[in-house]
Amino acid sequence: MTLSQTVAVIGGGPAGLMAAEVLSASGVQVHVYDAMPSVGRKFLLAGRGGLNLTHSEPFDVFMSRFGERRAQLEPMLARFGPQQVREWAAGLGIETFVGTSGRVFPTDMKAAPLLRAWLHRLRAAGVQFHMRHRWLGDASLAAASLRFATPTGEALVKADAVVLALGGASWARLGSDGAWAPWLQARGIDVAPLLPANCGFDGAGWSEHFASRFAGQPFKSVAISFTDSQGRRFARKGEFVATATGIEGSLIYAASALLRDEIAAHGSATLLLDLLPDRSAEQVLAAVKHPRGARSLSSHLKSRLGLEGIKAGVLHEALGREAMQDPAQLAATIKALPLRLVATRPIDEAISTAGGVRFEALDEVLMASAVPGVFVAGEMLDWEAPTGGYLLTASMASGAAAARGAIKQLGL
Ligand SMILES: Cc1cc2nc3c(=O)[nH]c(=O)nc-3n(C[C@H](O)[C@H](O)[C@H](O)COP(=O)(O)OP(=O)(O)OC[C@H]3O[C@@H](n4cnc5c(N)ncnc54)[C@H](O)[C@@H]3O)c2cc1C
């Protein structure tokens, strides 16, 4: 062991912190640099939603969520996967539980105690933290001489290896701004365009009346289906939210990669919304046609089908007053209401980022072929996955893998 070997980990999100953990266990001196005043800000934000750490489904199903990048990620996740995430949390004194959907959360659903315990353990292991150090993507990376903007001016840092774990390009105010993409490209590291993943969409064509009345309200117990122009199909029950200009929320995020790619290829994507997924088309038609006497159509739909509020509102949006009176058209629209989406919401609002450093630009231990000694981990790599704990698990797994790569490179 050579104590003079130092590794700079740039970016203190879950990927960088996991890299620091694995590196420090090997005996190298680890320095973590982060642009923000404190590390793990997006991790803490994830805690607001309960901190979905990982997923309990069988490993093969878990891996299928990574789509085209499964092959590259599988070796890393085989070493540090869902079970290891739970053991790692337990090692920090944080027990986890499996929610009804199979998602795994800390028992207290919070990120702060876990992050606190983790940082405590890292510091105790000798990891040194340098906050408010913004790496400037300097051209002297190859010589492992790194330039940082700090509150007291620029600092030059030397390291024997570097792990970049700079995150994606969403929620820039928490630190991950994607500024690294052109810098790495200029160094000959191929970067796929950064795109929003698990994002909302604009379109849907809401009237001002609908938007002012229903923006922020959920569509509950609905289903959406979408088939793209290549025949790939998404269909699922769930819920989502109307926004002033479109739609967002868990069910939409789940379909967002397909919708995003279809919009990029064809300018729009039209999904079908089923307002009553638990009733067949025949049942809906029969209920719509049922004599309603003196009752208004609205109260008929409410009493026979439970359609009111935002669900009734969206039917009016889609059909207009006249077509609402046509039972066949009304029933068909209740089961398959078209929503045409024309744009993703800006990447800064997205839960995660697709695109990033292409695996083809890295060797099997995540070292950049164009810049030996530089390793890349976390969301800045070119993979994407739905929500469900896959993002944190793969970020940490790749952080651990990059660290193992650096250890190997240093001959330890
Ligand atoms: C609202 C929300 C909820 C989420 N909930 C979940 C969830 O429940 N489960 C889940 O699995 N995932 C969730 N995610 C996604 C998950 O948080 C991210 O995928 C994960 O944090 C990525 O880890 P990372 O370490 O790669 O990057 P990040 O966590 O983004 O960390 C990158 C770090 O790099 C630093 N940095 C960037 N540029 C520089 C620079 N030039 N110099 C120095 N430092 C720099 C940043 O300040 C930041 O600290 C959520 C995301 C959001 C936005």
Tell me the pLDDT tens digit for each residue of 322-354. Answer: 999 999 999 999 999 999 999 999 999 999 999
**Could you tell me which of 204, 278, 209 has the C-alpha nearest to residue 238?**
278
Domains annotated for the chain, with CATH where assigned, are 6-196+355-409 (3.50.50.60), 201-344 (no CATH)
Determine if ligand 1 sits within 6 Å of the CB of residue 337.
Answer: no
β-sheet bridge partners, residue 158? 145
* Mean of pLDDT values over 395-402: 98
Which of the 8 DSSP states describes residue 139?
G
Beta bridge partners of 10: 33, 164
Q: Which two tokens stand for residue 278?
A: 């638990």
Mean pLDDT confidence for 178-204:
96
Which residue in 189, 24, 410, 89 sits closest to 98, CA to CA?
A: 89
Is the shortest distance between the CB of 351 and ligand 1 below 6 Å? yes
Is pLDDT above 90 for 40? Answer: yes
Distance 87 CA to ligand 1 centre (A): 21
In tens, the pLDDT along 201-223 reads 999 789 999 999 999 999 999 99
Instruction: Please tell me the distance between residue 76's alpha carbon and the centre of ligand 1 in angstroms.
Output: 19
With 90 as the cut, is the pLDDT of residue 225 above it?
yes
Provide the strand spans (E) within 1-152. 6-10, 29-33, 54-55, 96-98, 103-106, 128-130, 134-135, 145-150
Ligand 1 pocket member 18 (CB < 6 A) = no
Pairwise CA distance, residues 43 & 39, whole Å: 9
For the four alpha carbons of 302, 306, 311 and 315, in that order, the dihedral sign comes to negative
* 175 pLDDT more than 60: yes
Residues 178 and 190: beta-carbon distance below 8 Å: no
- For 75-122, the pLDDT digits (tens) are 999 999 999 999 999 999 999 999 989 999 999 999 999 999 999 999
What span, in angstroms and rounded, lies between the C-alpha atoms of 300 and 288?
8
The neighbour count for residue 267, using CB atoms within 10 Å, is 9
Instruction: Label residue 66 left, alpha or beta by phi (over 0 means left) and psi (-120 to 50 means alpha).
Output: alpha
Query: Is residue 159 lining ligand 1, measured as CB closer than 6 Å?
Result: no
Testing ligand 1's pocket by substitution, the residue of 392, 393, 398 carrying the most ligand atoms inside 8 A of its CB is 392
Choosing from 36, 38, 166 the residue with most ligand 1 atoms within 8 A of its CB, the one to mutate for a pocket test is 166
42 lines ligand 1 (CB under 6 A): yes
Contacts of 243 by beta carbon, 8 Å cutoff, 6+ apart: 200, 215, 216
Residue-wise pLDDT tens digits, 371-388: 999 999 999 999 999 999
CB hemisphere CA count around 364 (13 angstroms): 4
For residue 333, the surrounding DSSP H or E stretch is helix 327-335
Contact indicator for 37, 17 with CB cutoff of 8 Å: no
Q: Is 16 in the pocket of ligand 1 (CB under 6 A)?
A: yes
Q: Is 3 helix (H, G, I), strand (E, B) or coil?
A: coil
Neighbouring CB atoms inside 10 A of 13's CB total 29
Cβ atoms of residues 16 and 377 within 8 Å: yes
371 Cα–ligand 1 center, Å: 24
Q: Report yes or no: 402 and 21 within 8 Å, Cβ to Cβ.
A: no
Res. 145 pLDDT band, cuts 50 70 90: confident
Give all strands (DSSP E) within 175-242, no chain letters.
191-197, 201-203, 218-227, 233-242
**Is any atom of ligand 1 closer than 6 Å to the C-beta of 392?**
yes
Which residues make beta-bridge pairs with 147?
156
Paired sense of beta strands 153-158 and 145-150, if any: antiparallel
Q: What pLDDT score was predicted for residue 142? A: 59
C-alpha pair distances (Å), 288 with each of 279, 283, 291, 305, 307: 12, 9, 8, 8, 11
Cα–ligand 1 centroid distance for 208 (angstroms): 35
Identify whether the C-beta of residue 66 lies closer than 8 Å to the C-beta of residue 257. Answer: no
Averaged pLDDT, 364-374: 94
* Nearest-angstrom CA–CA distance, 165 and 167: 6
Residue type, 305: L
Residue type, 353: T
Going by C-beta distance under 8 Å and a sequence separation of 6 or more, which residues neighbour residue 73? 63, 66, 383, 394, 397, 398
Nearest-CA residue for atom 6 of ligand 1: 46
Pocket of ligand 1 contains residue 45 by CB under 6 Å: yes
- Residue 411 burial (CB count, 10 A): 7
Ligand 1 nearest atom to the CA of residue 148, by list position: 42
For the chain, give the longest Cα–Cα distance: 88
* Angstrom distance (rounded) from CA 163 to CA 379: 13
CA-closest residue to ligand 1 atom 47? 175
Residue whose CA is at the smallest distance from ligand 1 atom 3: 46
The Cα 340–Cα 356 span in angstroms is 28
The pTM of the full predicted model, rounded to 2 decimals, is: 0.95
378 lines ligand 1 (CB under 6 A): yes
Percent of the chain surpassing pLDDT 70: 98
* 224 Cα: distance to centroid of ligand 1 (angstroms): 29
**Closest alpha carbon to 331 in 367, 358, 300:** 300
Neighbours of 358 (CB within 10 A): 15
